[in-house]
Amino acid sequence: MNKDQKDVIGWSMLNLAARVALDLEDGWFVNLGIGLPTLIADFIPEGREIILHSENGLLGLGPKPEPGQEDPDLVNAGKEPITLKPGGSFFSQSESFAMIRGGHLDATILGAFQVSQYGDLASWKLPNATLGRVGGAMDLTVGSKRVFLFMQHTTNKGDFKIIEECTYPLTAARCVDRIYTNLAIIDVTDEGLVVKELAPGVTFDYVQKYTAAPLKLHVDVQSETVGVQ
């Protein structure tokens, strides 16, 4: 583990948000979790209808409002100002969670503190934190048809976030389908973690160096044997 790693390589979070948006299919209903995943709303491909859901009772979220155009009554689950697309709707939080628990979301995109090689997710509480609540993440991970993670590959201190077994309190077990980080896109499969795509300038060896679980390289991905230094 390299505790002194300071420079973030690969995709920036904005570039990664745009890359995640490309994988959302036309007609999908998608929940964007609090924090980094909300960036994706600004990068939905033109001409593709992705209906964004917020657990506080909204469907049809648009990109962030222009400065000065914020409506204090129009916010997402993280209390950030949002816009609503034509045809968007408001409803009670109980109805919102009925949608989630009823299996009506095609994908949920969340952040993570840790994720295991089996797709176990820890996203709500650090071990030494006195505060923490799981919120709607437990419902979203169990109720959505797909669970994607959007995160930095390591912590700011260089600690591993993709590990063999989670050591933090779990949000849900074996729920994650795909992990998007600044270094790579990794699928969680029955055969283990498979690197589906590498960020520009990043190699498989480099990704493995900063991952505390074994990785496999997808047969369609090309990588040099020497990692970025």
For the entire predicted model, the pTM comes to: 0.91
Over residues 213-224, the mean pLDDT reads 88
- Could you tell me the domains of the chain? 13-217 (3.40.1080.10)
Known catalytic membership, residue 25: no
pLDDT of residue 7: 57
Which of 25, 49, 55, 191 does the annotation list as catalytic? 55
pLDDT of residue 186: 98
Sign of CA dihedral 204, 210, 216, 220: negative
pLDDT in tens, 122-178: 999 887 776 667 778 999 999 999 999 999 999 999 999 999 999 999 999 999 999
CA dist 78 to 142, 146, 185, Å? 20, 21, 25
Is pLDDT of 58 > 50?
A: yes
